[in-house]
């Protein structure tokens, strides 16, 4: 048997193993990064919703929400709904305002497909795991046109208008 052929097979096997190890390490580092990013976004969401309620308690008419990007502000229940997130329900709250991780850029298109949940139903599922909620004792309602009471927090940080007479929060 030719020694060069054996050497080539050994080196090829080493290269394949090295590539597999590099892919595994890249996957591990990416998952570590995203886990840390999600925890950081949750802290930003908590600070943002606390700031919003500070502004409400101070009777301010506006509040700027900067973080986290690609999340959404919403109130529960909305427009006659009976459902609220379990995280609010378990604490005995009748109403809550949440900042929830965005469910995707195709929200409106997806909701028009048959047999799919509405965006509010999908956000309800996200609220417990990927969101922060606070009790809404003043019964404010988040409103934004026809978007089912969802105010997106994106690159253009929304200025939230607080209407105390109408008990509404809008952009």
pLDDT range class, residue 105, cuts 50, 70, 90: very low
| Sign of the torsion formed by the C-alpha atoms of 119, 120, 122 and 128 | positive
pLDDT range class, residue 3, cuts 50, 70, 90: low
Which of 43-52, 56-65, 118-127 is least confident? 118-127
Report CA-CA distances (Å) from 148 to 30, 44, 82. 34, 24, 15
Res 119: pLDDT: 65
Whether 158 is in a domain gets the answer: yes
How many other C-beta atoms can be found within 10 angstroms of the C-beta atom of residue 140? 20
Nearest to 118, CA basis, from 84, 148, 146, 75: 148
- The rounded percent of the chain whose pLDDT value lies above 70 is 75
Res 21: pLDDT: 93
Whether 123 is in a domain gets the answer: yes
pTM above 0.75, yes or no: no
Whether 105 is in a domain gets the answer: yes
Whether 1 is in a domain gets the answer: no
**Per-residue pLDDT tens digits for 141-155:** 887 755 567 777 776
pLDDT range class, residue 106, cuts 50, 70, 90: very low
Q: What integer is the mean pLDDT of 96-123?
A: 63
Rounded CA gap, 36 and 59, in Å?
A: 35
Whether 32 is in a domain gets the answer: no
CA angle 111, 82, 90 (to 5 degrees): 110
pLDDT range class, residue 171, cuts 50, 70, 90: confident
Whether 81 is in a domain gets the answer: yes
Rounded CA gap, 135 and 1, in Å?
A: 78
Range of the domain at 68: 40-170
Rounded CA gap, 86 and 82, in Å?
A: 12
Asked if 115 contacts 34 with a C-beta cutoff of 8 angstroms, the reply is no
Whether 28 is in a domain gets the answer: no
**170: three-class secondary structure by DSSP:** strand
Q: What integer is the mean pLDDT of 59-67?
A: 81
Whether 68 is in a domain gets the answer: yes
Rounded CA gap, 12 and 38, in Å?
A: 39
Total domains present in the chain: 1
pLDDT at 39 over 80: no
What is the residue-averaged pLDDT of the chain?
77
């Amino acid at each position: 048997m030719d020694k060069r052929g054996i050497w080539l097979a050994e080196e090829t096997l080493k290269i394949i193993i090295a590539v597999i190890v590099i892919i595994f390490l890249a996957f591990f580092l990416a998952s570590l990064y995203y886990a840390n990013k999600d925890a950081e976004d949750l802290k930003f969401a908590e600070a943002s919703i606390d700031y919003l309620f500070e502004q409400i308690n101070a009777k301010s008419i506006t509040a700027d929400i900067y973080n986290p990007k690609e999340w959404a502000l919403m109130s529960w229940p909305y427009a006659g709904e009976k459902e609220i997130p379990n995280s609010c329900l378990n604490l005995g709250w009748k109403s809550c305002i949440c900042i929830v991780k965005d469910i995707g850029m195709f929200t409106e298109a997806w909701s028009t497909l048959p047999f799919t949940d509405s965006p509010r139903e999908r956000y309800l599922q996200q609220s417990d795991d990927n969101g922060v909620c606070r009790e809404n004792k003043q019964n404010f309602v988040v409103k934004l046109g026809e978007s089912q009471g969802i105010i997106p927090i994106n690159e253009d940080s929304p200025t939230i208008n607080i209407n105390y007479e109408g008990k509404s929060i809008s952009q």
